[in-house]
Structure formats: C-alpha cells, structure tokens
Structure 1
Amino acid sequence: MSRTMLLLLLTMPIPVFAQQKTNENLLQYVKPIIGTQKMGHTYPGATVPFGAVQLSPETDTIPYEMNGKYNPDVYKYCAGYQYDDKTIVGFSHTHFSGTGHSDLGDFLIMPTTGALQLNPGTASDPGSGYRSTFSHSTEVASPAYYKVKLEENNILAELTASNRVGFHQYTFPASGDAHIILDLMAGIYNYDNKNVWTFVRVENDTLITGYRQTNGWARTRTVYFAMTFSKPFYQYGHQNYVNNVYRGFWRKFDQTKNFPEMAGRQIRAYFDFKTTAGEKVKIKFALSPVSTAGALKNLRTEIPHWDFEQVKRDGEALWAHELQKVVIQSRSREEKENFYTAMYHAFINPTTYMDVDGQYRGLDMNVHQADNFTNYTTFSLWDTYRALHPLFNIVQPERNADMIRSMLAHYEQSAQHMLPVWSHYANENWCMIGYHSVSVIADAIMKGNAPFDVSKALDACITTARHRNYDGLGYYMDMGYVPEDKNGASVSKTLEYAYDDWCIAQVAKKLQRMDIYEEFIKRASNYKNVYDASVGFMRPKLSDGTFRKAFDELQTHDQGFIEGNAWNYSLYVPHDPAGMITMMGGKRAFSRHLDSLFTMHLPDKFFAETEDITRDGIIGNYVHGNEPSHHVAYLYNWTGEPWKTQERVRMILKKMYLPAPDGLGGNDDCGQMSAWYIFSTLGFYPVCPGAATYQLGSPAVDGATLHLENGKVFTIEVKNQGDKNVYVKKVVLNGQELLNNQLTHAAVMNGGTLIFYMSAKPDKRG
C-alpha cells in the first residue's frame, strides 16, 4: 500500500464489512460523462469522494454578461463542460456538480506547443488561441481519471487527483517550444470584475505558489495554490490583461519575463520547456483555503512522489470502497451504469474544505481549526435536504455528522447567526429559499445519527427560524404566511418555512422542550393559510388577507412560486400529507389531481413564455428536473392507491435516467437527482426528512445489499422482477409482512432482509 493510500484511508471511516464486499469491479459501471449534455451540468473530470479538488476540462469560457446584459448561454456551462462542444480551453481545479448556478473554475492549465498564444481563441477558430479541438473517441472519463487527446498540438492529457491535489500528466511531441499556460483569468460564470486579485510567485524552476481572490457568487473567496513540475522550465513570463504598466522597482526590471513575482487582477502566466517525442511533463497542483504554505503541505503530504499511475489507483480504490456500500443485483448493464453513476454523483458533494492539518478559512474570514471532524463546504441545501442527506444517514452517517458539524461552525461564524442556506468556500450566497439546514439537522437527530451537541444544534435551528429580517420571515411569523405584495415567491416560502418548522418541533419534542414544540408545531400548520379552496390550489395571498386576483396555476414566474407552479407546490406539504389531502377534498379528489399532474398536456406557450423552462425533465406537468416535485409520486400511498406510486416511480426511473451524456432529466443539483434515483431504485424514499420513516415504492433491481458503517447488512430481495412487473404484491421484513407501505429507519440500520414480491397486476386492496 502506498503512503498516499494509507494516509487517506486513515482519515476516513472504515466499516467492518470489508470482507463481505462483492468481488465485482463496480468502477466499470460509473460513467462520469452522464449528465454532461444539455441540463445535467455534471463534469467528466477527476475527483475522489467528497474531494476538495475537481480537476476537469473546460470546453468554453463564456462571459456572464454580453453588452451589459445577462448572457443566457452561460447557463450551459455551470460545470464548465458541454458534451456537444468541439474544443477544450484547458483544465481547471474546482467545479460544482450539477448545479443551476455556478462559480469556481479556478487555475486553468493548458499545454501547447509552437508559437506562444496567451488568449483562449474562439471555438470557431481554435487556432486563434491556446484552445484545442478534441474528439470523444479519444476521451476517457472514469472515477479519479480523465484522458483526452488535444488534437491541435498532438498532446495527450491525463488527469487524476487526491483529495486536495490535482495531478496532470501531458505527453508531448518533440518540441523546442512546449508551454504550460496557467490562466488565472479563466473561471466559470466570469463577471468582468470577478477577479479581485491574483498573485503568482516563482519559488524555483519547478515550484510555483500563489492565490486568487474572486468576487463572484461567493463574494469574498480566496484560494491558494502550490504547483510543481516534474522537470524544470527554462523560462517563464506572464501578461497582465488589465493594463501593461508594471509598477515598482522604478521599472528597473522587465516584470513580464523571468521575474519571480506576478501580481494583478487579470494574469496569464506561461512556463516553457523543451520536450522529446513521447516525453511526459507532470504537474501536481494543490489547493488550500488558508495559505500557500498550507497548499504546499497538502501537496507534500498527499502526493509526495511522481507516480501518476499510483495516484490513479489510489483514487480508484477510494471510489471502489464507497461504491461497495450498496451492491445491487441486476441483469441489465444499463441499470448498473445508471445506479453506480448515481452513487458516484451522490458522493462528489459536499466537498472537503480544510487543509491536511485541519485548518480552514471560516465565514468570518479568520482561520479556524477543525478539531476531530472534517470540515465540508458546497451545501446546496434547497436541493439536497430532500434525499441526499437522508441517503448519507444510511450509507455515510459519519460524514453526514461532520457535515452538520460544519453547518454548526458556519452558524457560530455567521454575523447573522444563521445556519447555511446555500454556502461554499466560506461564503453564504443566500440562493433559493427556506432554512433547510434545519431539515438536515433534524433528520440526523431523529434517526439517531447525532454525535454532536443536539441542544446547541436545536438552538441554532430556533435562532435561524426566528430571524425576522430573513426573506419575508418576519411577515410569516406575524401573519402566518408571507404576503406576495411584500415579498416575492411568497407561497413557496410559506410552505417551505412550515415544513422546516415542523422539523424543529420534532427535535424539540424529542428533547422535551415543549414550549419550543408548541411554538413550532403551530407554525408548521401555516401551509393552510395559502390554500384557496375556491380554486383548489395554493395561491399567493396579499398583506390585506385576500388572495391575489391575477392567478395562473400553470405559470411559474410572478405567481408566488419558485422553480415550480401552483400544480407542483400545492402538493408540497411533506410533513402532513393526510392533512393536505383532507384540505384538498379527500383521497379520491386528491388522487384525480395527482393523475392530472402526470398526464396533462402543457401548451407550447408555457415553454415559450416561461424563462429557463424546457421540456427536459417534465412528464405532463410533473417536473422531475426541479426538486419541489421529488416526493410527489409517493403521495398515492396516502390515497389508498399505492399501485399508482409504484407505476409512476418506475415510469420516472425509465424516462428521467439513461446511461448517456444527456441521461439526466435536469440538473443533478449536487447529487439530489442521483439520490432520488438510488432510493427509488431500491424501493423506498424519504418523503419527509425529519421523520424516521420511508415510503415504499417499486424496486427496479433484482436485489441489493447495503453494507452499513455499523457493521450490519441490510438486504433487499425482489421476487419476480421485470419491466412489466412494476406492482408490489406484498412486502416482508424479517418474516413479517408490512401492511402500511412504510419502512422505518431503524429497520434498515438494524440490518435484516426486506423482500418485495412483484406482479404485473396492481393490488388494488389499498
């Protein structure tokens, strides 16, 4: 075992089930290219589970604005890569996976030969800059490894990574003019003023250090680096693209060439080599949130050698270890590719955010020490509270507990005294709505995965939920709803606040803090205040207590909703489905409403007039590509028609997930889409995180074995499985038939056997 592998394994939880794993190579089923076309917004590059480095190609660098206006083309490049593109601009070290907004794309590197060009050129004329054409026929994307031929200069590019270090290997042709370009201007969602400052220091002829400060989605982000080459460069230089006036030293030096310090807002540097045919020039590039010294320590600790293949094998071993936590049985290779790629995508985010010594930069911009936990960042909580964090409570409980510790550290460092909403790199970007850290914390506490101070965690939840200045919350507290004339997306906010408040109530009750329970269980019923029985939908209400007259239940924008319409959000009461169903006319009427949602035809003008809405990810008016609908197919379990849940779930699995570049029916959203797939494929789903139960659906595999960190094994067997046999005849847990379409978390974590008996005919006994 290499020193690197040993170090990494010592810093991660190792369960006792290692000897029980399958001998099958599960890595073969992971296809990182899935989701890189159209709306998936995934990236194909190299990373390790929850790694701080995501080393991946950029196929274009699109400015955020054109002529002072938002450039809609930028949306395609949330992950920096689009499968349909024909050129690669370079390889950068930080990426989000599957988001609908973006940032990052730090420290782009590109190898070239011939005349030096320090601009990226254009996709239509790649020879006008340093970019290169490429072909998918030479592209390989697999866990912890990426390879592609850069055709313009006949250079083979290979990438791998450890947690904090990206490892590049470039095989050059014979050249007296080989270059490695380091572009500190490039980035994803680049604003004109995104770069605040960049600094590069040439320590010697193989070692470079520096940092980049940006003001993008994260307002105050600083990333430090240490970069080392496997062979010395013979000369170097840079260009400052803000201006070409170099101050200091009374101009006694030419600071553009062979000068060891480069500083400016827009810097592109280059390092020159002479190469022989087939020579490999390797680069190790380490990141740190703290300092260049921290980056250098990360580099020397994680990859102290130059064996590219060893680092690749180490990364593959880490992925193999994680994938073995759920071993499925399926006769379909496509099913295995979908499932294990979903596992891969689910285990990318959140990402490690600290140096090997535990230091990290906090929300207060001071340096903190993570004592006895791993500090994480990239919390897309509006998405991931629904299924990703509940999945972690089963297969990644130690990591999920550390993620909550990271959220609590965020709270302690927050000037607003709030838990994270959507945070990354020591910044809160306040994207989306609700305060869904509360859901993640409550889910862990109620499921017994809370090795932290639960009383302090509850206090953080309460303080967050009482923050009157946050996004209409004061109105909500005073009036029982958010009025649309005072704060937009008011219905969505009211509904999501009510759910989060229910989560707080559950924890308060568990901790016997009954005054808090009474306060928040009352708030949890506020969803009723925005239901208009006269139209049968949730509807925006004004501050005078009347419903707004202008109302279109099919439209999203300016209707009181966000990333959904009245049809979708009227079904968003995950904490009280029975109450919602009664309010909406009873089981029969509610079932008809669900049927219409899945089967209705949306008019063409709906897509033409609604910004950012496409037909991708939509079945009828059920929008799987947007998270508010993710629990909806399971609501038939409350109408006495679970067979409809079963057929809808299997339909969604078939339509929304394919082992192809365009195989995701919407943004993967930091693993939420993938977590939905994993749960639903196994046959159960967390409709209401914060409740220690799951709703049963229809498993899509022949069976599965869950190897749990507590050493126990939970086995799922599926009898008479088939594409037509989507209906569940009966379900038996450890010899006892389940009669309520529900599975408890304790039953999973205690180990045992769950058997589904499938049929081609629905069991309509309810």
Structure 2
Amino acid sequence: MKSKFPLIILLPCSFAAAQTRPVDNLVQYVKPIIGTQRMGHTYPGATVPFGMVQLSPDTDTLSYEQNGAYNKDVYKYCAGYQYDDKTIVGFSHTHFSGTGHSDLGDFLIMPTVGALQLNPGTADKPLSGYRSAFSHSNEVAEAGYYKVKLDDDHITAELTATARVGLHQYTFPASDKSHIILDLMHGIYNYDAKNVWTYVQVVNDSLVTGYRQTNGWGRTRTVYFAMSFSKPFKHYGSKDYSDKQVYRGFWRKFNQEDNFPELAGKKLRMYFDFDTRQDEKILVKFALSPASSAGALLNLRTELPGWDFEQVKQQAQQAWQHELEKIMITAKDTEAKENFYTSLYHTFINPTTYMDVDGNYKGLDQNVHKAEGFTNYTTFSLWDTYRALHPFFNLVQPKRNADMMQSMLAHFNQTALHMLPVWSHYANENWCMTGYHSVSLLADAVVKGNAPFDVNKALDACVTTASNRWFEGVGYYIDKGYVPEDKSGASVSKTLEYAYDDWAIAQMAKKLNRMDVYNTFIKRAGYYKNVFDASTGFMRPRLSDGSFKKEFDPLDTEGQGFIEGNAWNYSLYVPQAPDSLIAMMGGRKRFAAHLDSLFTMELPDKYFEHTEDITRDGIIGNYVHGNEPSHHVVYLYNWTGMPWKTQERVRMILKHQYHTGPAGLGGNDDCGQMSAWYLFSTLGFYPVAPGSDEYAIGSPAIDKAVITLENGNTFTIEAQNQGDNNVYVKQLLLNGVPYNKYTIRHADIVKGGKLVFVMSNKH
C-alpha cells in the first residue's frame, strides 16, 4: 500500500495542502510516557515501528542478585526506566516493552563534563558517578523522539532512530573536559555479573566497532555494533573492572587503558574525550547487528549515511504516522485519542526486526542465516501475545504477521529440540511460561487466510511441537489426558492451555483437510474436562493416581496448580468451547452468576502476600486484567444470553485499567498484549479463541473508526450515541442490514464494509 503521509507531518496545516483530504497528525496523540510508572514496564525512548533499536534512558542499575539472593526490585526495571526515579544512568539501545522479565540494555552511552568518572554512582548520590539528575519538566517523549536535560552536567540529550541505528545528539556546554562514556558492562537483567565477553576495535578517531556476549535471561546472546561520532575525539581510554589476573592475560604487556586500538574483557567501560564550545552538538550514530560488526557497519551506512538529526527524527515520525493511519478514529476528547494511539504505538513495537539490511541474522543454532523473502523477527512473548496481539496483526498488519510466522518456523528448523518458540529473543529460547502457543499463532494465520508459506510444513511443526513428551509434562498429558500436579507444577494451567493449543492445531488441520491430525487433536482439545472437579465447580489439580489434590483453595495462587492466576480465573479458561464450559459449570444462569462474583468479590489481604511490591494493580475484584489468562473472560457473557453484561463490563475495564499519564496501564503491557486488548475492545469486538475466524461483539468506546486494510479495502465501525452511559448495544447493522449475531467473522471485516452499533443506556 502506498504511503499517504506528506513529507512533513509536524504541522497539521501541511496536510491540507499536500492531500485531497486533511489527515490528522496522529503522532501528537502518542504518549510513550504512559506505562512507565508502577507496573506498565514500558520505556519512553525512541524507536520506529518494529525496530531493532530501542534507544531509551535507563534510570537505575540494579543487580538481579543482591548478596546472593534474588533482588525483587529488579522487577521494576524490566524496561530500564521508572518514572518515579530522579536520575538517569545513560541511554542504552535495546529494551523490552512491557514485559514481566528483564534483559537487554545493551551499550549504554552517557555524556558528561568535568572530572572523568567511569562508575555509574548511586541514585542517592548521583554525583558519585556519571549518572545525572533530571526533571520531567525538561523531558519530552514522543513517537520516535526523546529529549531530556541532564541537570548535573548541563547537557541536553536528544534521541531518535532508524530500524537498526540509534542517533544521539548531545548539546554540551563549553569545556575542555567533555566526555562520552560507552558502558559495555551495563545491562538490565544484571548490571555487572552476566557479561561473558566484550570485544572493541577503535578503527579510527571517529569509528568504533565490536560486540558483546551476555549470559542473562538469554543464555548465549551476542550483539554486534558500529559506533560513529560526528566529531573526532581527541583521546580515548578504557577500564577493565574484571580480575586482571584472570581476564587480562598477556594484554598486561601493553597499556590497554590508554588509546589502545583493540580491547577485550568481561567488564569494560570506555570513554571518548572532546573539547566543546558552548551549545556545541556532538552526534553519535550507533548501529546494531545480530550477525557481525561488518553487518552493523553496513546497517549504519545504509540506513543513516548523514548527520541531519532533524531529518532522521522527521523520518521516524513519518514512519509512525504511516502505521498509525491504519486506523483513523473519531472520538469525543483528546484523552480518548491519546489512549487509542498510544495503545496502537505500543502494539507496533514488538516483535522486533532481527536481521541486517542484507538479511543476515544469527539463528537458534548460533550460526548465521539469511532471511530469504521475509523479514526475520524476534521478541516473541507468546504466552501473552497469542491472545490478542497477533490476531490484531492478522487484521491490520497481515504482511508483518506472516513474516513473524516464517520467523517462528525458521526458529523451529534451527533448533535440535524440534520446538516452535515459547518465549524467544536474540537467538535464544527462554522457556518462559506455559503452553506451546506458537501453534495458536500459526493456526490463526492459516484459518484467516494469511499464510503465504508452506502451510503443511507449518502444521507438521505444530504437531511435532505438541508431541514433545519431554516438554513441561506433555508426556503425562498425552498418556493420562491431564498433567499430574505431583509430576509437573502449574499442572492445571498446563492442561488447560495444552487443550486450547490442541484445538487450534485441529482447526488448522481441518482447514488443510488433514483429518487424521484433526481427529487426534480435537480429542486432546477436550482434555480440559479431566481437571474439572464437579464437587467444587472449579478446575482443580489432579495427582498421578487420578485423585484430586486434597489441599485446595480456589482463591490462592500458590501451590494450587496454576500460574499467574487461581482456580477462579483458570476455571474460565476454555476459550475453544464456552458452551461446553457453561454446561459443565451448571448452565447459563449459574455461569453468569460465577462471572458476576469474579468481578465483585473482595479478596482478603492474605492472597497478596506473594506479590511483593507488585501491589493490586490490574485487579478488579478477583478479575485480574493485568494477567492475561483473564483477558477473554468478560466476553463469555455473550454465551450466557446476557451480552449486555459483556458490554457494561468491557466499558468498565476500559475506564478503570487504561488512562493517560505515566501510571496509565493497570499491569505489564506484555509486548503489546494489554494494548491490543484495549484496541480490540475499544473497536467493539475481541478474538476470544484465536484459531477461530470469529470475534465476539462487545461495546465500542469511540464514535467512529476506519480501518484501512492491506488488501485495499476499508472497514468502518460507527457507534451511534455511544458515551459513558450509553454502553449497551441496542442494534447492530452490517452493511446496512440488521445483524443479530454476537460474533462477527474475519472474512466479513477484510472484504470491507461498515458495522454500525446503535447504542443505548438501557439493555
């Protein structure tokens, strides 16, 4: 699809002159600061859509372990930045967006003035190191651009990016002691103990290349770089903070710390010295590569050949404008637009591009591969994102999502474990969370007709993945029809999630007329029944002898067979068969009452004793919006014959869990899943069971939305009379014809048309 944005997007008046119809500057509604406080774990820095570089400030340097024990505060810094902090350590080039686990934070850069300091110092004593105090009043965070004043050194820092290159612009005071520090020890998972090796080559007085290997969450992660300065440095040096007896070896023959062109070690920090005039700007280009330092240099020279910061910033924001224009909304107030377009921004950050401009990348086998005919992606938080993010991509980013599916199939082909990804990034599998939900993504793409790859090989990969008996109790699941709690923890969650994934495989097989596969997996899709205890009305852990675990508290989250939830939440996790679940739990009336209680009960304080400092963010009664297993639950009222309850509770969740401001997310954004829930629900429908071609109808929270589809069609959603009180759907019309269903098919959307909601304050 051709771009519709003009050359300059910052002035709304430019649009009218350049186009036949005015197009709003949507970048102005993106507020990257949303979610940077408390639990959101987003970052405020500069990136482009799905970019490899996430150039952002880090505000602390906590170690994952403290005195040999897990440091719970490291959880706060999954994205490297916490809004309540008063100091900035520096600006690193890789960040997760909204995750519940930390890693990355590669290649931190910090400009300073005065006496050289090569340690970061501490938050309570910032002047003891190179960190600096800052104020939010001097901070600007926009899509593709970040700016802050470093108060202690009177330096203004500005950041922008291309897909593979971060561009820094530092405005210095007059000084003959200006420095730019490159901290090769810094990382978000663990500040100083997880660096395996670093190599640096100073090519000339303005170009530096090298790589860093880390053993953090990703055990064998290697990132290559090329760093270029707009002005030659007058001097450079380094310091190795590792045990020199062990790590320096024969290098001690030379003075490696002063102007030595090749450096290697575990714990390196470098500095580059400059003389600066008042308000002189020094720019730094920093390119990344997953394959080689030569690849990083190629990325740098290809994507960012010049030094025009404003032009690069403008191009980054044009790229965001182009993506944001995929959905044009009409809303009653600016806050609604800020929530919507910031959510859209957050969904378009991950997964991230993971290949050089020539297609090279390092695979799971640690060899260099070349992506042929697709863009290779990484950062797959699949336990979260299979629910809404990837279904959203199948609607508004189908080409990218198809490439993501091919990236996952490449992952499968490169590992000897015969597994599709579970939670993978940077050529590493982290094995985080339960299920094998990559099969759901592939099934959803195939069922919705967005699979321009060998679909039968994809199905074979799904079957192989789901047949790996060594994985997380799968052997017991296959043999017994459930995972026994005494053999594999979180057994109920695993059983329920495997059953859903198996249903998704069955739908894919049915689409491909592979009925032998269908018959096998549709049977396994019913294994959720094997962990339902009719005597309590809840899903309950069973032991290997077939009995239910005796000690059982449906409100507790610890030791009860569940992960990130309790029996109340997970007993509702049968998205593939809501009618069967409702019948099993006593029929429509009793099921609806169960849902009502979920939202209205008050949990005693004792059930929060394991949450450390996570607090009660994201919780409404016993409904946990901040944890993904509950995301489909509110739409289950549709299957009880009480759709108005879905409608009123969807609007309640939207109102209470999503706000503008730094604390505007009621839980980790989880690589865009929370934001994708918001987008679907605000538009008025939601994918309860990805792998199906149907979406459940809800209650739209904007007046109008026009979705521009990649096939050239548009689908318009109009909500007549909607407002804070008018949350009930009085009538639906699809292309002018009354529509009486409470689901809408994917095909009806992508062929274009108009869906009208007539809203009312009465159900």
TM normalised by structure 2 equals 0.97
1:308-457 aligned at under 5 Å gives the runs 308-457=309-458
Where does residue 634 of structure 2 map in the other structure?
A: 633
Asked whether the equivalents of residues 192 and 267 of structure 2 are also in contact (C-alpha less than 8 Å), the reply is no
Q: Deviations over 1:625-653 (max 9, x none)?
A: 00000000000000000000000000000
Where does residue 497 of structure 1 map in the other structure?
A: 498
Where does residue 241 of structure 1 map in the other structure?
A: 241
Q: Deviations over 1:255-276 (max 9, x none)?
A: 1101111110000000000000
2: distance between equivalents of 1:656 and 1:424? 28
Per the alignment, in what secondary structure is the counterpart of residue 204 of structure 2? coil
Where does residue 695 of structure 1 map in the other structure?
A: 696
Q: Deviations over 1:304-333 (max 9, x none)?
A: 000000100000000000000001100111
1:724-735 aligned at under 5 Å gives the runs 724-735=725-736
Asked whether the equivalents of residues 693 and 744 of structure 1 are also in contact (C-alpha less than 8 Å), the reply is yes
2: distance between equivalents of 1:298 and 1:33? 29
2: distance between equivalents of 1:610 and 1:435? 26
2: distance between equivalents of 1:20 and 1:685? 34
Asked whether the equivalents of residues 199 and 263 of structure 2 are also in contact (C-alpha less than 8 Å), the reply is yes
2: distance between equivalents of 1:439 and 1:540? 24
1:612 positional shift: 6.2
1:286-325 aligned at under 5 Å gives the runs 286-325=287-326
1:739 positional shift: 1.2
Task: Establish whether residue 540 from structure 1 lines up as the match of residue 541 from structure 2.
Answer: yes
Q: Deviations over 1:193-227 (max 9, x none)?
A: 31000111100000000100001110101000000
Percent of matched pairs sharing the same residue: 73
Where does residue 30 of structure 2 map in the other structure?
A: 30
The residue type equivalent to 2:79 in the other structure is A
Per the alignment, in what secondary structure is the counterpart of residue 675 of structure 2? helix
Asked whether the equivalents of residues 185 and 191 of structure 2 are also in contact (C-alpha less than 8 Å), the reply is no
Where does residue 65 of structure 1 map in the other structure?
A: 65
Asked whether the equivalents of residues 601 and 620 of structure 1 are also in contact (C-alpha less than 8 Å), the reply is yes
Task: Establish whether residue 711 from structure 1 lines up as the match of residue 715 from structure 2.
Answer: no
Asked whether the equivalents of residues 61 and 188 of structure 1 are also in contact (C-alpha less than 8 Å), the reply is yes
Task: Establish whether residue 208 from structure 1 lines up as the match of residue 217 from structure 2.
Answer: no
Where does residue 183 of structure 1 map in the other structure?
A: 183
Aligned residues: 748
2: distance between equivalents of 1:733 and 1:20? 28
* Inter-CA distance 250–35: structure 2 relative to 1 (3 Å threshold): closer
* Inter-CA distance 128–686: structure 2 relative to 1 (3 Å threshold): same
Where does residue 14 of structure 1 map in the other structure?
A: none
Asked whether the equivalents of residues 557 and 610 of structure 1 are also in contact (C-alpha less than 8 Å), the reply is no
Per the alignment, in what secondary structure is the counterpart of residue 47 of structure 1? coil
Where does residue 12 of structure 2 map in the other structure?
A: none
1: distance between equivalents of 2:233 and 2:693? 59
Asked whether the equivalents of residues 159 and 168 of structure 1 are also in contact (C-alpha less than 8 Å), the reply is yes
The residue type equivalent to 1:218 in the other structure is G
Asked whether the equivalents of residues 61 and 191 of structure 2 are also in contact (C-alpha less than 8 Å), the reply is no
Q: Deviations over 1:238-266 (max 9, x none)?
A: 00001345856675531110111111000
The residue type equivalent to 1:442 in the other structure is A
Where does residue 232 of structure 2 map in the other structure?
A: 232
Where does residue 618 of structure 2 map in the other structure?
A: 617
Where does residue 592 of structure 1 map in the other structure?
A: 593
Asked whether the equivalents of residues 79 and 96 of structure 2 are also in contact (C-alpha less than 8 Å), the reply is yes
1: distance between equivalents of 2:334 and 2:644? 27
1:713 positional shift: 0.5
The residue type equivalent to 1:562 in the other structure is I
Asked whether the equivalents of residues 22 and 324 of structure 1 are also in contact (C-alpha less than 8 Å), the reply is no
Where does residue 101 of structure 1 map in the other structure?
A: 101
Asked whether the equivalents of residues 39 and 614 of structure 2 are also in contact (C-alpha less than 8 Å), the reply is no
Of 650-659 and 188-197, more deviation after overlay is shown by 188-197
Where does residue 79 of structure 1 map in the other structure?
A: 79
Where does residue 256 of structure 1 map in the other structure?
A: 257
1:105-116 aligned at under 5 Å gives the runs 105-116=105-116
Asked whether the equivalents of residues 211 and 224 of structure 1 are also in contact (C-alpha less than 8 Å), the reply is yes
Task: Give the gaps of 5 or more residues in structure 1.
Answer: 7-17
Q: Deviations over 1:601-622 (max 9, x none)?
A: 1111211245565210000000
Q: Deviations over 1:23-67 (max 9, x none)?
A: 111111000000000000000000000000000000001010111
Asked whether the equivalents of residues 50 and 348 of structure 1 are also in contact (C-alpha less than 8 Å), the reply is yes
2: distance between equivalents of 1:263 and 1:380? 33
1:512 positional shift: 1.2
Asked whether the equivalents of residues 715 and 754 of structure 1 are also in contact (C-alpha less than 8 Å), the reply is yes
The residue type equivalent to 1:93 in the other structure is H
* Inter-CA distance 761–250: structure 2 relative to 1 (3 Å threshold): closer
2: distance between equivalents of 1:607 and 1:550? 19
The residue type equivalent to 1:239 in the other structure is K
* Inter-CA distance 437–612: structure 2 relative to 1 (3 Å threshold): farther
Where does residue 155 of structure 2 map in the other structure?
A: 155
Q: Deviations over 1:179-206 (max 9, x none)?
A: 0000001100106531000111100000
1: distance between equivalents of 2:20 and 2:348? 21
Task: Give the gaps of 5 or more residues in structure 2.
Answer: 7-17
The residue type equivalent to 2:26 in the other structure is L
- Aligned-pair RMSD on alpha carbons? 1.4
Where does residue 643 of structure 2 map in the other structure?
A: 642
Where does residue 91 of structure 1 map in the other structure?
A: 91
Asked whether the equivalents of residues 191 and 216 of structure 1 are also in contact (C-alpha less than 8 Å), the reply is no
Per the alignment, in what secondary structure is the counterpart of residue 731 of structure 2? strand
Per the alignment, in what secondary structure is the counterpart of residue 98 of structure 1? coil
1: distance between equivalents of 2:632 and 2:145? 34
Where does residue 275 of structure 2 map in the other structure?
A: 274
Per the alignment, in what secondary structure is the counterpart of residue 716 of structure 1? strand
2: distance between equivalents of 1:305 and 1:143? 21
Per the alignment, in what secondary structure is the counterpart of residue 167 of structure 1? strand
2: distance between equivalents of 1:71 and 1:663? 26
1: distance between equivalents of 2:249 and 2:606? 60
